[in-house]
Structure formats: C-alpha cells, structure tokens
C-alpha cells in the first residue's frame, strides 16, 4: 500500500498544484491531507475548492483510487472558532498579528467553514487489507493499527513530531496510542524516528516549509508486510506566483504586520512568527512594525 501525506498547505495554491502534479507519478493508493489547509497564505478559498473537487472527482480517483482523507489542523480549527467568535480567542481578535486570520475567514463561505469544522481529529488505518482500504477513522477496530495520522500528535494538534521532542514524550505517545506508523505534521519540517516497533514520521509542509528549502514538501510511504519505505519529496513550484498572490489577493494590504511575516516565511522557508514573538517579549517590546524592523535588522541571516 502506498500512502501520500501532504499537509500545511496554508492557502498556497501554486505549491499545492505542484504537489498534485507530482502525485500523478507517485501512484498512491490514498492521500491523507493532514491538516492546516488554510490561513497564513492568500488562496484559502481556492485551495479548499481544489481539494473538495478532488475528493469527489474522476481526477481525484485517478490520483488516489482509495480517496483523499483529511484531518483537522490547528489553523483550520482557528478559522472555524474565529468565525464563531469563540470566547477562548478574545485576546486575539484585536491583536494585529492575527489580522490575516480575520481576512482568511472573510474569504470562506459558511459551507467551507462547516466542512472544516467537521474534519476528524485523526485518520486511523487498520492492519488488514479490508481495513486499510476501508479507512476506518475511529478506535475499536479489534486489530493492530497500521497508520495513525494526526496533524500534531494524538494528544493535541499543536504537539508535533520533530527533533526537539523528547524521547520520553514520543514513548508516552507510542504507548498510549499504539500504531506501526505514527504520522504527524504541524512543525513544517520532515522528520523520521524509529521508536521500537513504531516509526514516527512528520510529512513536512507543502505551502510553508521551515527547513530552509522553499520547495513544496510532502511524504510518500510504501507499506509492505515486512517493510516500510519513506520518500520525503521536494517539489519545485512557482514561488514568485505564490508571493505575488499576497498582493493580488489583498492579503498584504488587509493583513498588515502578520501578512508581512507570513510572506517572508514563505519566501525564506524559515519560521519567523514565533521567533519574532519571543524576541519581542525578551526585549520588552510591543509586537508592532517598529519591533519587526528591529528584529529584521538584528537577524539578517534569517531573511537572506
């Protein structure tokens, strides 16, 4: 069985299209779209409509005969909660760094938001072929779990698998949520670690990688009875078109400082939002344009 896992598209349509073109050569049985389809980038509506069309079209069945399956990412959930004016976000509604989120919500229809709100937290695939291709998405299958895919970890969609995660944490997750393959995303960095009988994987990011490689990145896993082969794929795409879309869509104008940060994250394939956030706190500075300019001047290597 060959499973493709793509995630963290973040409204980057050119990157998604490049990955879909590459999927024609991969011949996957199924595709897991592992969360964070939207937000940060400029083409949220277009990305959702493209994926929704694939999940029910002849083109989609040609790419993945067993279908496209989706999980909920933290940014998908953020847009849903934002549209509902969830009180847990009260501190964010007036934060200038979240102006792109307000803009992204306005680009989506209620049908889009309802669909995002109904995405499952995880996709679980059972060991036997009838389960593998039946794509059970719940517990209690009465057999060993072959693949457990969540945007972050099975404990929280913001808990990602990467080199910073402790062995103790990974062991706890593996014991509490057993699977032959634990598949996550969220960190925007590919990752693989053999943990006893479990293989822990991170698919990387399609739309906004954070490993310094601007190419669209996703993962293909070949699963046999006695072997697993992992292929981390890096696909060139029209980065300039993706960057221009920040302006053409109106995101750069409406999204203010947050949009500028996300633009540079896409341009450099580096994480900038949280490093800037912590740096501003360490300097006792407000997270505003002046602090952003000071941060850029203090860390020119991150923008090269």
Mean pLDDT within 69-94 = 97
Q: Are residues 229 and 298 in the same domain?
A: no
Give the pLDDT of residue 224: 86
Q: Are residues 217 and 296 in the same domain?
A: no
Q: Are residues 276 and 223 in the same domain?
A: no
Q: Among 193, 192, 190, 191, which residue's Cα sits nearest to residue 215? A: 190
Mean pLDDT within 71-83 = 98
Q: Are residues 14 and 51 in the same domain?
A: yes
User: How many C-beta neighbours within 10 Å does residue 83 have?
Assistant: 19
Per-residue pLDDT tens for 181-225?
999 999 999 999 999 989 999 999 999 999 999 999 999 999 988
Q: Among 35, 36, 32, 34, which residue's Cα sits nearest to residue 23? A: 32
Give the pLDDT of residue 127: 61
Mean pLDDT within 242-271 = 98
Give the pLDDT of residue 226: 83
Specify the DSSP element, H or E, that contains 148: strand 145-150
Classify the C-alpha dihedral 57-60-65-70 as positive or negative: negative
Q: Are residues 79 and 138 in the same domain?
A: yes
Q: Are residues 261 and 203 in the same domain?
A: no
Q: Is the pTM of this model over 0.95?
A: no
Residue 43 in any domain: the answer is yes
- Tell me how far CA of residue 234 lies from CA of 23, 203, 207, 211, 260, in angstroms: 12, 11, 11, 11, 25
- Max CA distance (Å), the chain: 58
Give the pLDDT of residue 241: 99
Q: Among 44, 35, 30, which residue's Cα sits nearest to residue 70? A: 35
Residue 16's pLDDT band (cuts 50, 70, 90) = very high
Residue 35 in any domain: the answer is yes
Above pLDDT 70, what percent of the chain?
A: 94
Residue 250 in any domain: the answer is no
Give the pLDDT of residue 126: 83
Q: Are residues 163 and 273 in the same domain?
A: no
Domain holding 40, by residue range, is 2-235
For residue 101, the domain's CATH number is: 3.60.21.10
Q: Are residues 87 and 173 in the same domain?
A: yes
> Does the pLDDT of residue 139 top 60, yes or no?
no
d(CA 228, CA 231): 10
Q: Are residues 267 and 166 in the same domain?
A: no
């Amino acid at each position: 069985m060959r499973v493709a896992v793509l995630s963290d598209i973040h409204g980057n349509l050119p990157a998604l299209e490049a990955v879909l073109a590459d999927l024609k050569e991969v011949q996957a049985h199924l595709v897991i779209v592992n969360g964070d389809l939207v937000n940060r980038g400029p083409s949220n509506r277009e990305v959702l409509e493209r994926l929704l069309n694939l999940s029910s079209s002849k083109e989609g069945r040609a790419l993945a005969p067993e279908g496209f399956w989706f999980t909920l990412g933290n940014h998908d959930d953020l847009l849903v909660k934002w549209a509902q004016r969830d009180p847990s976000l009260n501190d964010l509604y007036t934060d200038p760094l979240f102006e792109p989120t307000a803009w992204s919500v306005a680009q989506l229809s209620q049908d889009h938001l309802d669909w995002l709100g109904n995405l499952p937290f995880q996709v679980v695939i059972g060991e036997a072929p009838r389960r593998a291709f039946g794509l059970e998405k719940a517990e209690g299958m009465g057999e060993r779990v072959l693949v457990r895919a969540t945007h972050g970890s099975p404990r929280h969609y913001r808990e990602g698998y990467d080199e910073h995660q402790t062995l103790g944490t990974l062991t706890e997750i593996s014991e509490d949520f057993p699977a032959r393959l634990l598949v996550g995303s969220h960190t925007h960095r590919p990752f693989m670690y053999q943990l006893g009988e479990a293989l822990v994987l991170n698919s990387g990011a399609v739309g906004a990688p954070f490993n310094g490689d601007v190419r669209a990145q996703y993962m293909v896993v070949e699963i046999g009875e006695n072997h697993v082969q992992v292929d981390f794929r890096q696909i060139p795409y029209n980065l300039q078109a993706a960057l221009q879309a920040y302006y053409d869509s109106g995101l750069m104008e409406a999204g203010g400082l947050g949009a500028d940060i996300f633009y540079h994250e896409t341009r450099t394939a580096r994480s900038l939002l949280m490093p800037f956030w912590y740096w501003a706190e360490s300097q006792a500075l407000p997270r505003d344009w002046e602090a952003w300019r000071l941060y850029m001047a203090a860390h020119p290597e991150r923008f090269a």
